[in-house]
Amino acid sequence: MASSVIIDSLKKAHILELLADGKRLDGRSLEQTRELSIDVGVIPKAEGSARVRLGDTEVVAGVKVKPEKPFPDTGDQGMLICTAEILPIAHPTAETGPPTPDVVELARVTDRGIRESKMLDMKQLVLEKDKSVIGVFCDNAVTDHDGNLFDVCSYATTAALISCKLPKYEMQDDLPVKIENETIDPPITTIPISVTMARIGDNILVDPNMDEWSCLDARITITTNSDGNVVALQKGGPGGFTYDQLIKCAEISIQVGSKIREIMKEATKGSN
Amino acid sequence: MGGRDTNIVLLDENGIRSDGRKVNETRKVTIKAGVLKNANGSAYIEFGDNKILVGVYGPRDVHPKHMSDTSTGILRCRYHMTPFSVGDRKNPAPSRREIEISKVIKEALLPAVILKGFPRTAVDVYMEVLQADGGTRCAALTGASVALADAGIPMRDLVAGCAAGKAADTVILDVNNEEDQAGQADLPIGYMPNLEKITLLQLDGLLTPEEYKECLEIGIDGCKQVYEIQKKALQEKYFSTGDDKNG
Amino acid sequence: MSNERGRHVIPGEVITSGNYRSEQNTFMEGDKIISTVIGLSDIRDDGVRVIPLTGGYIPKDDDLVIGKVVSHSAMSWLVNINSCYDGMLPASDVFGRDFSSHSDDLTSKLDTGDLIAARIVNSDRTRDPLLTISGRELGKIDSGELMHISPSKVPRLIGKRGSMIQMIENATNANITIGQNGLLIITADDSNGLIKAINAIQLIEEKAHVANLTDKINEMLESKSE
């Protein structure tokens, strides 16, 4: 662990002092997220892409599409695989080499949030049942890390998928052939939005930055869909939550989630 | 490589290339220095349709310790392509091509960096290709030099990269992806403009001795043009006062 | 040979040529003196150097630095001093020469995350720089606001004979301890004074290379807040 990332005692003391007054070091209220910006189409050669900035955290996501053989038990559905990687440029402690458990968790939580929300209607991504389906890959690359990678990767993936253009394929002699210059809009059914909260003492903070992440007792990421239903949950951190805290977190994630959903719609407007 | 049959006209009767350029014209290059919050130095470069982000950390501790050198700092470079950077999605694991390019770029930067003053440390250069369109190693090298200067790593000179090549039997400057696929030669060059030394040189294809000479000349000229953009990027970040045009 | 300062240079640019000595952040190629960093050239008494606008902190003997304790062994603390080398503070510096690793517990005095104001005692690059906190105004920091600026901007913040920093302290009633490594501690009783001091320091960091900076800072400090 690089010595630069240990939080200093003055800062930690400040964070706790301010929380006693319901305030945060960067001036936000407990339920306020940092400034969010979503830009789509930043990698024009990919089928879909988005760059999301939440405060100083930044992620670039790219969507690549190609025909695949379906999984044996789901021959009537397309394939969706989401990954996440913390690039070594993103943080002094980010390493190259096989992913650490933190990174594996990030990738799997991102993938689950998108998959379980059923945001893409996979049944519409079949070219020939049991033989050939459309495989959609969304890869997230974290380029700058200032805490809360779960939400930023989730927003980047969602924005890239909503705004992507799927190539059109036709089956010719049992093989999928790409039709040049023709695309289809992705079959989007809902817009999942994740909200990550940290518990520090008895306080619940939305969108913890790196400093707050370093002194949290526990954290939870809750993903809701456009109907306000909960579609994914992940608790992390060394401490626990009480029942009341978990109810409060769910309420916050629905409220904050719907505000962010409006930002997402605005950013991807006009794409699909 | 090597004259694959395509429908693209690499060079028309007016000497204009498939993307509208003349034979001695580089693609549009823009560079911004200091774009990342955490890295000690960084640069974002667009070289034609190539989009590359470079971050530098260091000088910093080396782990494992046995890799450090007690007489000097060491330079480590990683050239890496994101899965969505190329036409067919690329596996995130490093390929042999990326490993070779990482080494070649490191050896292009070594003559420039001065690390004797930082024994037992490492300077890490990470180049991430977000979108690729031919000539990524030259673009990555160009961005890396700017990021190193941004990080305050002492250097004898910047290193600028640009490729020369041959298509339709004509020597051309700055080969793009189409030209690389369908053309006859690709010669990437890395050049220190003030010390006038070439520190990166590779060839893929066939050149007569005369064409080789022409490629070097036109390529070095291309590197000099790219150097002006590197200079501009650093001057913009460090020397502009924001309230007047002359910085 | 005239004195000249303040020309903008980047690595590889020739500053001058002829009968000059190559000093900090330059090297000689033939008779040309060339910059190795981004900065401002400074020619004085036939010596050519470059004042860098980038780069981390390089430990020098007697420098005052603000450090953060990151770990400890049985005999010393390891301290991050915002440099490529971590500093080492021997336990004997705090416990005295009779220090015994059996009876004296290091964490009772300093623990991971604690901030200290220290002086560099021995910075030879073949090993980690040695620190001391026994001295006036040195020791553990219990309160105040920690700020980071680029170490290359510290001289500008201090000013000629301390003029710039004194101007800020007087105008804001704040006490500012400046580490040569770019870390500062600001203590102020009045939160307005604290905010003004922070803003002034941020402005200096942004505009360190601009002429008449002193006037700009003065203006800023004298304007009524709110």
Q: Please report, in tens digits, the pLDDT of each residue of chain C (226 residues total).
A: 466 777 999 999 999 999 999 999 999 999 999 999 999 999 998 999 999 988 889 899 999 999 999 999 989 999 999 999 999 999 999 888 887 777 778 888 899 999 999 999 987 767 789 999 999 889 999 999 899 998 988 988 998 899 899 999 999 999 999 999 999 999 988 878 888 898 899 888 887 767 778 888 888 888 754 4
**Does C195 reach chain A within 8 Å, measured CB to CB?**
no
Question: What local confidence, expressed as pLDDT, does residue B2 receive?
Answer: 42
- Interchain proximity C37–B117, CB inside 8 Å: no
Which residues numbered 24-83 in A keep a CB inside 8 Å of some CB on C? Answer: none
Test the A interface: residue of B57, B82, B148 with most A CBs within 10 Å: B82
The one-character DSSP state at B92 is S
Tell me how far apart the alpha carbons of residues B239 and B232 are, in angstroms, rounded to a whole number: 10
C205 residue type, one letter: E
Give yes or no for a contact between A160 and A141, defined as CB atoms under 8 angstroms apart.
Answer: no
Q: Identify the CA nearest to C176 among candidates C191, C187, C163.
A: C187
Q: Is the pLDDT of residue B246 over 60?
A: no
Using a CB–CB cutoff of 8 Å, tell me whether C72 touches chain A: no
Given a contact cutoff of 8 angstroms between Cβ atoms, the answer to whether A217 and A200 are in contact is yes
pLDDT for A152 equals 98
- Which of B82, B87, B133 is the closest to A139 by Cβ? B82
Distance from C-alpha of A163 to C-alpha of A129, rounded to nearest angstrom: 26
Q: Do C78 and A4 touch (CB under 8 A)?
A: no
Nearest CA in chain A to C113: A8
Say if A263 is an interface residue toward chain B (CB within 8 Å): no
B244: pLDDT strictly greater than 60 = no
Q: What is the pLDDT of residues A55-68, one digit of tens each?
A: 999 999 999 999 99
Q: Is B148 left (phi over 0), alpha (psi -120 to 50) or beta?
A: alpha
Distance between CA atoms of C114 and C139, rounded to whole angstroms?
Answer: 10
Instruction: Yes or no: say if C7 and C43 are a contact pair by the CB < 8 Å rule.
Output: no
Rounded to whole angstroms, the Cα distance separating B114 from B55 reads 18
- Please state the pTM of the whole predicted model: 0.93
The H helix count followed by the E strand count for chain A is 5, 12
Interface with C, mutate which of B115, B158, B224, B238 (most C CBs under 10 A) = B238
Whole-angstrom distance, CA of residue B176 vs CA of residue B134: 5
DSSP-derived pairing of the beta strands C21-22 and C47-52: parallel
Least confident of A12-21, A135-144, B198-207: A12-21
Q: Give the closest of C68, C141, C144 to A6, CB-based.
A: C68
- Interface residues of C toward B, Cβ cutoff 8 Å, are 8, 10-14, 25, 27, 29, 34, 36-38, 52-56, 58, 84-86, 125-126, 152, 207, 209-210
pLDDT in tens, B45-80: 999 999 999 999 989 989 888 999 999 999 999 999
Residue B11 CA: distances (Å) to CA of B3, B7, B28: 13, 12, 19
Q: Are A195 and A151 in contact (CB under 8 A)?
A: yes
Contact list, A143 vs chain B (CB under 8 Å):
36, 53, 128
Inter-chain contact B149–C8, Cβ cutoff 8 Å? Answer: no
Question: CB distance C125–B119 less than 8 Å?
Answer: yes
Instruction: Check A8 against C146: CB less than 8 A apart.
Output: yes
Pair B73, B58: CB distance under 8 Å = yes
Which residue(s) pair with A53 in the sheet?
Answer: A37, A58
- And the tokens for B170? 């004509």
What secondary structure does DSSP assign to C4-32, as a single string?
EEEEEE-TT-EEEESS-EE-TTEEEETTE
Identify the burial level of A238 via C-beta atoms within 10 angstroms of its C-beta, where 0-12 means exposed, 13-18 middle and 19 or more buried.
exposed
Put simply, the answer to whether C80 touches A11 (Cβ < 8 Å) is no
Q: How far, in Å, are A124, B127, B232, C200, C205 from residue B235 at the CA level? A: 52, 22, 5, 24, 17
Could you tell me if C60 and C122 are in contact, meaning their C-beta atoms sit under 8 angstroms apart? Answer: no
Q: What residues contact A21, with CB distance under 8 A and at least 6 apart?
A: none
> Which among C171, C59, C49, C166 is positioned nearest to C119, based on CA atoms?
C59
Inter-chain residue contact B131 with A92, CB threshold 8 Å: no
Least Cα distance to B46 among B178, B143, B125 occurs for B143
Tell me the one-letter amino acid at A38: I
